[in-house]
Structure 1
Amino acid sequence: ETFTTTLPEFIRQLVIIFGGIAILLYTSPKLTLFMLAIVPVFVLLAVFFGRYIRKFSKEAQKRVAESNTVVEETLQGIYNVKAFANEFLEIARYRKETNDAAKIGMKSGKYRGAFSSFIVFGMFGAIVAVLWQGVNLVAAGDLKIGELFSFIIYSGFIGGSIGGFANVYASIQKAIGATEELMEILDEPTENLKEVQSHQKLEGFKGKVEFKDISFAYATRSDQQVLNKVSFTAHPGEQVALVGPSGAGKSTVVSLILRFYEPSSGSLLFDDQLAENYGLSEIRNQMAVVPQDVFLFGGTIRENISYGRPDASEEEIIEAAKQANAWEFIGSFKEGLDTVVGERGIQLSGGQRQRVAIARAVLKNPSILILDEATSALDSESERLVQDALDKLMLGRTSIVIAHRLATIRKADRIVVLDKGRVAETGTHDELLQNDKGLYHSLSELQFTH
């Protein structure tokens, strides 16, 4: 609305005002200069009220966003809301947020109303002052009575535009306040991406991943090192597991491999080349991720599997589903691959969602595979099927596995134990168990003896 209605109206009012002033200057320069002497007062009022209108508009947008967040969280967490009988608590939360938004809106409206009122009263006051000065000029013989009437008529047109200008200006200030946060987001630096074909592979890329003394801290907590001089290597085709207590930095390592962030210091290398030497799109195109909490889009099973390679044929999709142990349950659906999974895959069970995610990764055929404890939340039968599919998927690929359950990584080629952002120890499962005082041994005892 700001661009389609308000801005054109703003320009129209400006044209009328400046055009009218030019005519007034031609009619009576002295009287026009007298009238223009009042303009700074209007400018000061516009600046004063505009600041508050913009401030309240920004705050109102924030309140509305918070009320929408309450609704979104309530709907997404409806199971917990009902289970804890907190329906009325959520109603109260939403009512509070909407009331706060309404109060801010009322404040903004009051300032807009006051601004418009001052402009209108000031406009009429200015016309009276101009009329008084015009009469004096007529009495002094510096202005003809006809010119005075013409001047008053032209001033009326300009005054009407100034009155409308106040509302338009207030609307623009409101729009500026409402879009300030959006503009801050748009001003954020963007990733240097370029489009690549989903099946395009880097020639000769083997999938070696190497961390060299990497340290990292998130921008919002720059004083807190998440990783501190972390070094390890995953050779092509190796399975490297990352273990450690919660908050040790395992997920951050994966985020750096995917290049969602850049290290604060140290070097990340792929196939002995600095990560910066590869384009973001082309290096990510060599990877696939199977997360713990699988996200499926609200389309069909076919669309979710082919997300790994959108140009894949139906035969390739079916083959990927078979390798992921997903074809059996897909075939049991009446619509098969065209079965709609619902928002975030809600129509499928946890094990089914995991196998669709694995099929997606199989179809992509990555050089580097990232697994985030993909079996931790599954029942025994689903875990068996998913683990079998993962074992097939990891063959011949560099695999980075975040592990919370040590039983799933006993066969890993190398285990990197992280603690407080540092590499505490590395080795195979058997090697690490021999260190009675090691962190891995302690974690193993906690899991296997309880």
Structure 2
Amino acid sequence: MLKELAKSIREYKKASIATPLLVSVEVVLECIIPFIIANLVNHIKAGSDLSVIIRYGIVLFIMAAFSLLFGALAGNTSAIASSGLSKNLRKDMFIKIQSYSFENIDKFSPSSIVTRMTTDVFNIQNAYMMIIRAAIRCPLMIVFAFVMAFVMGGRMAFIFLIVAPILGFGLFTVIRKTVPLFRKVFRKYDNLNASIQENVNAMRVVKSYVREDYEKDKFEYAAQDVCNDFTKAERILAWNGPMMQFCIYTVMSFVLSFGSYMVITTRGLDLDLGQMSALVTYSFMILQSLMMLSMVFAMITMSTESAERVVEILTEESSLTDPEDPIYEVKDGSIDFENVSFKYSKNAKKMVLSDINLHINSGETIGIIGGTGSSKSSLIQLISRLYDATEGTVKVGGLDVRSYDLDALRNQVSVVLQKNVLFSGTIKDNLRWGSKDATDEQMIQACKIAHADEFIDQFPQGYDTYIEQGGSNVSGGQKQRLCIARALLKDPKILIMDDSTSAVDTKTDAQIRKAFRTFIPETTKIIIAQRVSSVEDADQIIVMESGRVNAVGTHDELMAHNDIYREIYESQNKAGDNDEE
């Protein structure tokens, strides 16, 4: 885990290395200062003149100034290193997620990914800052201060060796009990974020059904659940403070009482006033370092689960990879399914698609129709390798899709989904997702084919009209037509329309299909639809049922010989007749 996280330090290695070095110098200076003060106290006690005091004062001021300087520099470099690590972690996670297949994405919910890239990375950032600074400073301070305390106070310093194991046992117990709790908390954070995301995305539905109170109660329950677990974990962590206070007061009581006795009586130990003052100072240094060390352990305890969750993202390997010697050119738009079966998860008991055998010629228009849950969308997702077939072979251009470079294949297979996404930016910005170098003429031509030009021209800014996030300022039909135009700009050999004209009226739907026949005759067009009218003029129509191909034929052939197709056609036409009546 640490090795994987360390890969994200990269250009911040210098700052990460400089921080412990600067901290080390700071600690050495801090540990020398009480020694000098002890000598100063003894000189004052001996009646030294003012010049000696001034000389010691100048030395102490210089050392304090340098200690402050090195401490400030260490704080600066630790901030640079920890912030840089968090930046690189988020960048590395985002890049890794872009390489995921749909199968990998299904493993992590969007809310969980957001939590890992925000809360979890922030916890790692804080922990890393404490590790390279406080976790270095505290042990060094304890060691140096103990050595100096032993030099100044002799056997009295052994009190620290008695206290340290007691404190260590307490910290170990706290960590062992809190780690499982934090693991539960971060999983519940995922659920909390999922609730927020769902509510925001469905805000119109929530308000339409006047369910604000229900959503408030649901969120309050999730938030309270997180609060309860966090409270339980924090209660255990809170024992750090009392344990440290107990150790501090025990040590200080011993040092002050026994040390004062030795100074006054000078029995058993030759302890003078200067040594006594230094010993008290070193005691505070050691105990404060132990206190800080307990806070470091608490932060590391909290961040351990965060680190594991981040590493899960970074080490997840895509289930779809390029072959060793990929093919970069797709010959044509022909498609073959040879004994194809598919399931979304290796552990799934049932196949989503079973025994699919199809041949589609390049340039053909293919319609796919079937009831809800007949796996129409699952079928077309195998063509562009959004998923790989579990059994059998899918071919494009006469070659197995697994032999192609993924980017090359997907650039030649454009998929327009029913719920496609528009991004915040102008219409031109969104269209150039299809081709980043598309000219204005090419964008206008694509929009004409998709019949998007008719509403774009009505906007005051035309193609420079700003699209809000998710396309919230355009209608469903307008959004679908812009997405079709965007797909056309890729100039693909295969165009797949996954119910992507569902929000378009039947007249415009027919006009789009007519434009396809006129302007992109050589492109293979696959149209998934619920309406028979959207596919009845296709070269071939595939009827799907329960993940299998029930029939393949033209509209007339299926009307004559296929009950499922005929039933769909008659039910839709009957509904249309009733509407007219």
Interval of TM-score (by shorter of Structure 1 and Structure 2): 0.7 to 0.9
Map 1:116-265 onto structure 2 (within 5 A). Answer: 116-125=241-250, 145=271, 153-190=281-318, 202-203=328-329, 205-219=331-345, 222-265=348-391
Q: State the distance in 1 between where 2:256 and 2:244 align.
A: 18
Map 1:359-374 onto structure 2 (within 5 A). Answer: 359-374=485-500
Partner of 2:136: 11
Of 239, 248, 253, 1:114 maps to 239
Secondary structure, counterpart of 1:434 in structure 2:
helix
The percent identity for this pair of structures is 28
Q: State the distance in 1 between where 2:373 and 2:414 align.
A: 23
One-letter code aligned to 2:378: T
Partner of 2:529: 403
Distance change in 2, residues 1:157/1:413 (3 Å) = same
Contact 2:330 2:409 in 1 (8 A): no
Contact 1:330 1:336 in 2 (8 A): yes
Q: State the distance in 2 between where 1:64 and 1:244 align.
A: 39
Cα shift at 1:425:
2.6
Contact 2:330 2:408 in 1 (8 A): no
Cα shift at 1:177:
3.0
CA RMSD of aligned residues (A): 3.5
One-letter code aligned to 1:271: G
Q: State the distance in 2 between where 1:29 and 1:417 align.
A: 91
Of 431, 438, 451, 1:325 maps to 451
Q: State the distance in 2 between where 1:134 and 1:301 align.
A: 80
One-letter code aligned to 1:309: S
Distance change in 2, residues 1:386/1:93 (3 Å) = farther
Q: State the distance in 2 between where 1:25 and 1:418 align.
A: 84
Of 384, 407, 430, 1:281 maps to 407
Q: Greater relative contact order: 1 or 2 (C-alpha under 8 angstroms, separation 6 or more)?
A: 1
Give unpaired runs (5+ residues) of structure 2.
Answer: 1-124, 261-266, 576-581
Secondary structure, counterpart of 2:407 in structure 1:
helix
Q: State the distance in 1 between where 2:345 and 2:293 align.
A: 43
Q: State the distance in 2 between where 1:43 and 1:205 align.
A: 68
**TM-score normalised by L of structure 2:** 0.67
Partner of 2:215: 90
Cα shift at 1:390:
4.7
Give unpaired runs (5+ residues) of structure 1.
Answer: 136-140, 195-200
Q: State the distance in 2 between where 1:348 and 1:224 align.
A: 40
- Farther off after superposition, 55-64 or 299-308: 55-64
Partner of 1:339: 465
Is residue 2:204 matched to residue 1:79?
Answer: yes
Partner of 1:432: 558
Q: State the distance in 1 between where 2:519 and 2:257 align.
A: 90
- Farther off after superposition, 438-447 or 326-335: 438-447
Cα shift at 1:354:
1.8
Aligned residues: 442
Of 227, 232, 242, 1:102 maps to 227
Q: State the distance in 2 between where 1:204 and 1:98 align.
A: 52
Contact 1:351 1:378 in 2 (8 A): yes
Of 29, 53, 70, 2:195 maps to 70
Secondary structure, counterpart of 2:425 in structure 1:
coil
Q: State the distance in 1 between where 2:221 and 2:560 align.
A: 58
Q: State the distance in 2 between where 1:37 and 1:344 align.
A: 63
Q: State the distance in 1 between where 2:517 and 2:168 align.
A: 72
Q: State the distance in 2 between where 1:282 and 1:311 align.
A: 17
Q: State the distance in 2 between where 1:52 and 1:444 align.
A: 64
Distance change in 2, residues 1:261/1:204 (3 Å) = closer
Please say which structure displays the higher CA radius of gyration. Answer: 2
**TM-score normalised by L of structure 1:** 0.85
Cα shift at 1:413:
2.4
Q: State the distance in 1 between where 2:337 and 2:153 align.
A: 79
Contact 1:193 1:281 in 2 (8 A): no
Distance change in 2, residues 1:379/1:320 (3 Å) = closer
Cα shift at 1:407:
2.3
